[in-house]
């Protein structure tokens, strides 16, 4: 690209006028879930006995027979066709991180040379997409290409464009999970079972415990013309070079700032479409970095929330294009300014309330609150390394550990009030805490638990797992990741912690201890055990890294080694006991994550080398030649002494450029060689380590020199849109 072209693109981007903000006459409550086959539509489109059966399937996990499936399919088809649907697809979440779909038309031969619209129960319930090109981590050798996708009736089908989308799990011919949804659902079942059993100590009527997830999604918007002119953004989702803009986020003037018109139009459009698809969008605002924004819905049941997050990520990209933007979901699109994350707000609730909600009306409520807080900490303590492994990736590493996002150490912040409370429980005896008052009613000397609102859980932004009133907020998740990866770990770990808790409490009860006392005793034991995970200080500090290592927390920073967590004995044991993932499935996940890690860095290294050699070196050399030319001409027209004096600055620039050019050229060679060496390594883990240790750091090293050249070379010659041009255009 010539610079004139760059100026044209920048000019175009600036010129774009705000598009009209979309409006709808109806209120959100009127068009919410218009395209979702929810209970209300089921009731309307299904015979009443079929509707009842479906409720049993959804609520009670009853099996779905073919006759019911056929009847449901018939009603669905009618509804979907009224909305203009012509196709259907199973929509699943393979381990590539995105979603997958293969559309089939509703058409069938009518046997008389014509066509009829057909959609059967069989098509709804199960399909066999060719799975050979999805990552399987060696579970399914390529000659056995069959994988099954099977309908998940707990996540309602919806119409998107002209297609009826059916959320499904995706498993191999031999039954192993090849996706995120299958193990997620198993983890939700495990935590339901374990938490219900524990909740019954307090409320004997509890029937079911649900895991909730409220995600907050951060993203960047970049003008599409500028995006197209950056091969690095196009290929990798992030800029591999680019000098800091003089002004970036230092004025704190973007966060919560007034939303630019063109962005507001995009947001409105996105919200309307999301609401129509049943995603309960609520919050929108400017984020810290220029051109960075956030969207958050109201929390939902975790399985549905995950589907909605996957859907909204794809929707964001589509809607952005309509508005002349590209939506960047990469965790670190621009160096030097904040990257994007996804905060996963997580809690457990029964049909009557949230189990992490305090204070209660009765001493029992308070003990319930403490129990669930402490067992959440036990879960995170025991599997802190694995939780980190669930969110580590070649892209999220750029954000973690930098002073903008949670550190690469998982710890939990509780705030002063709750920390004091746990300390009190830890140091007092049962008899001090429990007294029988009046008519033999039990009272518990748990000091006043304050009404916890977001305002008085003093918020510690540096904590990766912070308690925020009635939930924990896991902040280390990457913006483009599938929330399920960390939700599988968290819910399974919680199921394990609660199961262990109950076993120990029951043992004490069977020895004759009163339940309340037994619970208190185990809670006290666990408060001591999980103490190392509690940290209310500054997670960004150097001192914390050392302190965390002393406490035995996982402080590993190399992504390939962090991924070993999937294979550790305690991981295999937990997932096995809770019936969520087998050892073979864990090995597959580990292998796929390593492979994805390698490929991402490989692509970055390739495109970066190309840009250096084809874009940067040619213009740097051209500008250097212009300066050399100038030096010669100065010598011709000026007396030698004057020419020498006046040429000295140009000579210095010429020399600097020579040094940078040489460094870049030599090290791009080294980069290619490092890749070659790494690629020859057979073992996946060792290969990933080689990419981590040799390839990735070289990209950063070379980048420094490219960014220095950007400061020297004539702006008119510079071929790629600069940070200041990409970040301030709305």
Q: Which is closer to Mg ion, CB of 454 or CB of 546?
A: 454
Of Mg ion, ligand ADP, none, which one sits near residue 471, judging by CB under 5 to 8 A according to partner kind?
ligand ADP
| Binding partner at 298 among Mg ion, ligand ADP, none, C-beta below 5 to 8 Å by kind | ligand ADP
CB closer to ligand ADP out of 199 and 229: 199
Nearer to ligand ADP, 216 or 417 (CB): 216
Shortest Å, Cβ 246 to Mg ion: 30
**Local structure of 297: helix, strand or coil:** strand
- DSSP of 512-537: T--HHHHHHHHHHHHHHHTGGGB--S
Which of ligand ADP, Mg ion, none is residue 299 near (CB under 5 to 8 Å by kind)?
A: ligand ADP
Interacting span for Mg ion (CB under 5 A) from 157-165, 214-222, 232-240, 617-625:
214-222
CB of 354 or CB of 696, closer to ligand ADP: 354
Q: Does 212 bind ligand ADP (CB under 6 A)?
A: yes
Restricted to residues 542-601, the positions that interact with ligand ADP (CB under 6 A) are none
Contact 85, 163 (CB under 8 A): yes
Out of Mg ion, ligand ADP, none, what residue 283 binds, judged by CB under 5 to 8 A for its kind, is ligand ADP
**Contacted by 470, from Mg ion, ligand ADP, none: CB < 5 to 8 Å by type:** ligand ADP
Binding of residue 470 to ligand ADP (CB under 6 A): yes
**Gap between the Cα atoms of 255 and 286, Å rounded:** 5
Residue 487 Cβ vs Mg ion, minimum distance, rounded to whole Å: 16
Q: Please report how the helices 302-322 and 484-510 are oriented relative to each other, as an axis angle in degrees rounded to 10.
A: 170
Q: Does 2 interact with ligand ADP (rule: CB under 6 A)? A: no
Pairing of strands 100-101, 87-92: antiparallel
Q: Which of 214, 363, 415, 478 binds ligand ADP (CB under 6 A)?
A: 214
Point out which residues pair with 465 in neighbouring strands.
Answer: 412, 474
Q: Using only C-alpha atoms, what is the Rg of the chain? A: 29
| Rounded Cα–Cα distance for residues 115 and 107 (Å) | 6
Q: Which is nearer to Mg ion, 459 or 583 (CB)?
A: 459
| Binding residue for ligand ADP, selected from 93, 274, 345, 500, defined by CB under 6 A | 345
Residue 347 as a binder of ligand ADP (CB under 6 A): the answer is: yes
Regarding 354 and contact with ligand ADP (CB under 6 A), the answer is yes
* Opening angle at CA 611, ends 605 and 616, nearest 5: 135
Residues 272-311 that bind ligand ADP (CB under 6 A): 283, 296-299
Burial class (CB in 10 A: 0-12, 13-18, 19+), 637: exposed
CA-to-CA distance for 37 and 59, rounded, in angstroms? Answer: 16
Determine if 471 is a binding residue for Mg ion (CB under 5 A): no
Nearer to ligand ADP, 240 or 305 (CB): 305
In whole angstroms, give the CA distance from residue 393 to residue 598.
10
Smallest distance from ligand ADP to CB 195, Å: 14
Tell me the CA distances in angstroms from 132 to 126, 177, 422, one per residue in order.
17, 14, 52
Site for ligand ADP in 496-525 (CB under 6 A): none
d(CA 185, CA 348): 15
DSSP 45: H
Question: SS in 3 state form for 681-711?
Answer: CCCHHHHHHHHHHHHHHHHHHHHHHHHHHHH
Size of interface with ligand ADP, in residues (CB under 6 A): 15
Q: What are phi and psi of 487, to 5 degrees?
A: -70, -30
Q: Would you count residue 453 as binding ligand ADP (CB under 6 A)?
A: no
Q: Which does 586 bind (CB under 5 to 8 A by kind): ligand ADP, Mg ion, none?
A: none
Using CB atoms within 10 A of its CB, is residue 600 exposed (0-12), middle (13-18) or buried (19+)?
middle
Give the contact letters, 85-104, x = binds to Mg ion (CB under 5 A), - = no. Answer: --------------------
In the list 471, 502, 545, 589, the residue contacting ligand ADP (rule: CB under 6 A) is 471
Compute the distance between CA of residue 406 and CA of residue 553 in angstroms, rounded to an integer: 15
User: Which of 343, 368, 382, 675 is the binder for Mg ion (CB under 5 A)?
Assistant: 343
Task: Calculate ∠ Cα 592-594-597, nearest 5°.
Answer: 110
The partner in contact with residue 187, picked from ligand ADP, Mg ion, none with C-beta cut-offs of 5 to 8 angstroms by kind, is none
Residue number, 216 or 536, with CB nearest to Mg ion: 216
Q: List interacting residues with ligand ADP (CB under 6 A).
A: 212, 214, 216, 283, 296-299, 343, 345-347, 354, 470-471
Q: List interacting residues with Mg ion (CB under 5 A).
A: 216, 343
């Amino acid at each position: 690209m010539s610079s004139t072209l760059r100026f044209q693109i920048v000019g175009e981007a600036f010129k774009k006028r705000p598009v009209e903000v979309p409006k709808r006459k109806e209120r959100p409550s009127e068009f919410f879930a218009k395209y979702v086959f929810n209970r209300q539509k089921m009731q309307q489109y299904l015979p009443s006995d079929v509707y009842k059966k479906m409720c049993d399937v959804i609520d009670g996990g009853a099996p779905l027979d073919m006759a019911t499936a056929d009847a449901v399919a018939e009603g669905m088809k009618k509804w979907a066709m009224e909305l203009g649907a012509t196709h259907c697809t199973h929509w699943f979440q393979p381990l590539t991180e995105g979603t997958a779909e293969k559309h089939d038309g509703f058409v069938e031969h009518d046997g008389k040379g014509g066509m009829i619209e057909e959609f059967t129960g069989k098509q709804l319930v199960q399909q066999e997409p060719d799975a050979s090109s999805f990552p399987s981590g060696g579970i399914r050798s390529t000659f056995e290409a069959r994988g099954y996708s099977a309908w998940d009736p707990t996540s309602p089908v919806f119409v998107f464009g002209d297609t009826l989308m059916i959320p499904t799990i995706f498993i191999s011919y031999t039954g192993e999970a090849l996706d995120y949804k299958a193990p997620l659902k198993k983890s939700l079942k495990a935590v339901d079972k374990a938490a219900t059993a524990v909740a019954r100590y307090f409320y004997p009527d509890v029937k079911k415990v649900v895991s909730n997830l409220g995600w907050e999604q951060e993203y960047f918007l970049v003008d599409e013309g500028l995006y197209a002119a950056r091969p690095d953004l196009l290929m990798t989702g992030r800029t591999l070079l680019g000098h800091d803009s003089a002004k970036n986020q230092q004025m704190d003037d973007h966060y919560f700032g007034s939303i630019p018109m063109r962005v507001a139009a995009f947001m409105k459009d996105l919200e309307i479409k999301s609401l129509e698809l049943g995603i309960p969008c609520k919050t929108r605002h400017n984020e810290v970095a220029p051109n960075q924004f956030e969207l958050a819905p109201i929390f939902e049941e975790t399985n549905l929330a995950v589907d909605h997050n996957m859907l909204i990520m794809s929707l964001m990209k589509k809607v952005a294009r309509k508005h002349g933007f590209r939506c960047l979901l990469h965790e670190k699109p621009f160096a030097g300014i904040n990257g994007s994350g996804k905060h996963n707000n997580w809690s457990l609730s029964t049909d009557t309330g949230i189990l992490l909600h305090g204070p209660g009306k009765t001493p029992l409520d308070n003990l319930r609150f403490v129990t669930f807080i402490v067992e959440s900490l036990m879960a995170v303590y025991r599997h802190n390394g694995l939780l980190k492994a669930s969110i580590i990736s070649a892209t999220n590493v750029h954000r973690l550990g930098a002073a903008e996002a949670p550190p690469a150490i998982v710890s939990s912040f509780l705030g002063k009030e709750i920390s004091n409370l746990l300390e009190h429980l830890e140091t007092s005896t049962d008899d001090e805490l429990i007294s029988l008052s009046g008519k033999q009613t039990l009272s518990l000397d748990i000091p006043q638990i304050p009404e916890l609102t977001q305002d008085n859980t003093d918020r510690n932004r540096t904590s990766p797992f912070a308690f925020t009133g009635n939930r924990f907020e896991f902040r280390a998740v990457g913006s483009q990741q599938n929330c399920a990866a960390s939700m599988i770990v968290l819910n399974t770990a919680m199921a394990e912690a609660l199961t262990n808790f109950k076993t120990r409490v029951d043992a004490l009860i069977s020895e004759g201890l009163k339940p309340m006392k037994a619970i208190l005793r185990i809670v006290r034991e666990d408060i001591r055990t999980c103490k190392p995970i509690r940290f209310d200080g500054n997670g960004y500090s150097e001192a914390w890294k050392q302190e965390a290592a002393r406490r035995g927390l996982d402080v590993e920073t190399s992504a390939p080694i962090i991924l070993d967590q999937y294979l550790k004995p305690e991981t295999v044991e937990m997932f096995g006991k809770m019936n969520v993932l087998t050892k073979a499935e864990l090995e597959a996940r580990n292998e796929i994550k390593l492979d994805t890690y390698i490929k991402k860095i490989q692509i970055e290294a390739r495109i970066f080398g190309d840009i250096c050699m084809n874009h940067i070196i040619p213009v740097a050399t051209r500008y250097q030649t212009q300066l050399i030319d100038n030096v010669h001409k100065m010598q011709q027209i000026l007396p030698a002494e004057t020419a020498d004096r006046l040429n000295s600055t140009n000579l210095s620039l010429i020399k600097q450029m020579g040094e940078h050019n040489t460094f870049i050229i030599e090290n791009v060679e080294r980069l290619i060689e490092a890749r070659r060496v790494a690629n020859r390594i057979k073992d996946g883990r060792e290969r990933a380590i080689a990419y981590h240790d040799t390839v990735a750091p070289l990209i950063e090293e070379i980048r420094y020199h490219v960014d220095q050249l950007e400061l020297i070379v004539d702006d008119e010659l510079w071929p790629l849109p600069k940070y200041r041009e990409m970040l301030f255009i709305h």
